[in-house]
Amino acid sequence: MGGIEVIAADGPKALKQFVELPFDGLYRDYPHWVPPLQIAVKDLLHREKHPFYKNAEAEFFLAKKDGKLVGRVAAILDKAHNRFHQEDAGFFGFFECVNDPAVADALLQRARQWVFARGAKFLRGPVSPSTNYECGLLVEGFDSDPMVMMTYNPEYYATLLEKVGFRKCKDLWAWLSNANFIDMKKIDRVADKVLKSSGVTVRPIDVKKFDVEVERVWEVYNSAWERNWGFIPMTKEEFQLQGKDMKQILKPELVLIGEVKGRTVGFALALPDVNQALKPANGKLLPTGLIKILYYQRLVKSVRVLALGVVEEYRASGLAAGFYATLVRNARKLGYGDCEMSWILEDNVLMNRSLEVMGAKRYKTYRIYEWN
């Protein structure tokens, strides 16, 4: 291992190094990487302030080789996940590494030791810090930028993980279509018929009552996804924080709520691909990053559908089709073209078939790995 040292990123200086590591030449040859806002990463790593850590523990590690920083990883024990799934899982995330198997091995061995010492029986990831945030390692589709809240990494990362001993656990798929080329006749017909017969109404979110709306959606979120692989219920505090972050970029016409007699039974969420505005800022708000973000935000012409969920008793109502038709219609009106649906579990046959039938093409694959 000569010369490789793995240390805990304790203290403000080391955490700053942890946040800034990917900016230090690692992505120099990767034009499709979108630098995250450093301030947002810092907030997500704040174990005292961020609500995620009320139900989780984490340690952040840096790797040095011959005195130079060459990698990082977070070891995560997500108690909320383990309670919900009755598993003894440990997780890793925020993984970045030079193309050196010895460095990757040293980092991931340390993460594994850390979670095993706290009762975990296996290590799974990457999740940063859970499936409710950025997750999965990009393994197919390196030829385009990732959309908002999706990951990007060098192709060699998969080889590094597999050399350490990780194996595929689950693939997550991203589908791409264009709102302007979707044949709406059939979708509209199905959606209109469904909405009339089921008594479900679809409406945009009311931004004036944002906090109340977020709470309604939170309840649906935790019931609509509960049987999905890897799903972790979010606390109200965590969900509200995500909502607050999204409020700055969302378009009300792309956040839809399904109701029956005033009761919320489903919701759909699509966000403008703010990554197109973030990229020129290179991770910094100051001195000119904020100006660049505000400027480029007006030019964004793509959207990502992040979530589309319906409570169980209304799944057969076709509300999902109603959501989809309304989203496409509204996206067109707002001038959006490319539309990514992500992520979808590889074994969600119904959803994947539906997207294929609607003319979407699968264009990126993200992989969750596991190591016993």
- The pLDDT, as a whole number, for residue 359 is 86
* pLDDT value, residue 1: 46
Between the two ends of the chain, the Cα-to-Cα distance in Å is: 22
pLDDT over 60 at 190, yes or no: yes
Q: Which helix (DSSP H) or strand (DSSP E) does residue 215 occupy?
A: helix 210-224
On the question of a common fold for 4-170 and 177-365, the answer reads yes
Domain ranges of the chain: 4-170, 177-365
Res 101: pLDDT: 98
Length of the chain: 372
Answer whether CATH 3.40.630.30 is correct for domain 177-365. yes
| 8 Å CB contact between 119 and 362 | no
Question: Residue range 339-347: average pLDDT?
Answer: 96
Q: Stretch 136-161: mean pLDDT, rounded?
A: 98
Average pLDDT taken over every residue of the chain: 94
What pLDDT does 2 receive?
Answer: 57
Which pLDDT belongs to residue 350?
84
pLDDT digits (tens, 9 = 90+) for 288-317: 888 998 888 889 999 999 999 999 888 877
Question: Higher pLDDT residue, 293 or 171?
Answer: 171
C-alpha 146, offset from chain centre: 11
Q: What is the mean pLDDT of residues 231-250?
A: 94
pLDDT given for residue 368 in this prediction: 98
Work out the percent of the chain whose per-residue pLDDT is above 90: 80
Across 51-67, average pLDDT: 97
pLDDT band of residue 185 (cuts 50, 70, 90) is: confident
Range 4-170 classified under CATH 3.40.630.30: yes
**Chain segment 19-42, per-residue pLDDT in tens:** 999 999 999 999 999 999 999 999
157 has pLDDT over 70? yes
Residue 197 has pLDDT above 90, yes or no: no
Q: What is the DSSP string of 119-158?
A: T-SEEEE-EESSTTSEE-EEEE-TTS---TT-----THHH
